[in-house]
Amino acid sequence: MGFFEQWAGFGVTFNTIFRKTFTQGYPQKGKEKVTAPRFHGRHQLNRWPDGLEKCVGCELCAWACPADAIYVEGAENTDDARYSPGERFGHVYQINYLRCIFCGLCIEACPTRALTMTNDFKISNDTRTKLIYEKQDLLAPLLPGMEQPPHPRRLGEDERSYFLGLPPTGVPDTRTASTSGAAK
């Protein structure tokens, strides 16, 4: 090994010593860190366009979690108290971020796409109990036109029309991958 090869590694070290890092002055100054679009951050329980919850309490996310960080307890919907369009809903939903390894297997297991991951990476806290997120912490916020559950289904007369007629017009979504822009 020659003289140049021995000192080449020090050149890499020397170049990175004086480079500013993301954590210098964080969060008081500087821009927010922009994450990659597919970044695995904090979980979110999504809603249908009328405000009903997408989670049906099937517990598949809890079964898929290798860290045993998710606890789901399902309950039956009634005509008086409807929280999701199906027969069941997630009555208790907890994610323990002390255990979560952000692998995304729970997202893959969810049949209704109720559980997704956001780009939010600031979930640290000063107590352990604050890192166990309950259902109200995970639910997506209500957007304009949504109504806080429980309430009857607003998007269709029966389950089939509800799930096929997601646009407010009540017309089934007949777009294909080539017309929706997904294949571009």
Q: Is 85 part of any domain?
A: yes
Residue 160: predicted pLDDT? 73
Q: What is the pTM of this model?
A: 0.71
Residue 172: predicted pLDDT? 54
Q: Is 58 annotated as a binding residue?
A: yes
Q: Is 84 annotated as a binding residue?
A: no
Closest CA to 117 of 138, 143, 89: 138
- Domain that includes residue 45, residue range: 32-161
Closest CA to 93 of 141, 52, 60: 60
Q: Is 104 part of any domain?
A: yes
- CATH code, domain carrying 90: 3.30.70.3270
Q: Is 52 part of any domain?
A: yes
Q: Is 110 annotated as a binding residue?
A: yes
Residue 179: predicted pLDDT? 45
Q: Is 15 part of any domain?
A: no
> How many structural domains compose the chain?
1
Closest CA to 80 of 148, 152, 153, 155: 152
Q: Is 116 annotated as a binding residue?
A: no
Q: Is 45 part of any domain?
A: yes
Q: Is 159 annotated as a binding residue?
A: no
What's the CA gap between 40 and 108, in Å, rounded?
12
Q: Is 178 part of any domain?
A: no
Q: Is 20 part of any domain?
A: no
Length of the chain: 184
Residue 164: predicted pLDDT? 67
Residue 8: predicted pLDDT? 79
**SS3 assignment, position 64:** helix
Residue 171: predicted pLDDT? 53
Q: Is 122 part of any domain?
A: yes
Q: Is 170 annotated as a binding residue?
A: no
What's the CA gap between 64 and 66, in Å, rounded?
6
Q: Please, what are the averages of pLDDT over each run of 10 residues along the chain (184 residues)?
A: 74 79 63 80 93 94 97 93 91 96 95 93 91 96 90 77 60 52 42
Written as one letter, the residue type at 25 is: G
Report yes or no: 46 and 118 within 8 Å, Cβ to Cβ: no
Angle at 136 between CA 104 and CA 74, to 5 degrees: 70
**Those residues with Cβ within 8 angstroms of residue 136's Cβ, 6 or more apart along the chain or in another chain:** none
Closest CA to 116 of 95, 98, 86: 95
Q: Is 100 annotated as a binding residue?
A: yes
Query: Count of CB atoms within 10 A of residue 183's CB?
Result: 8
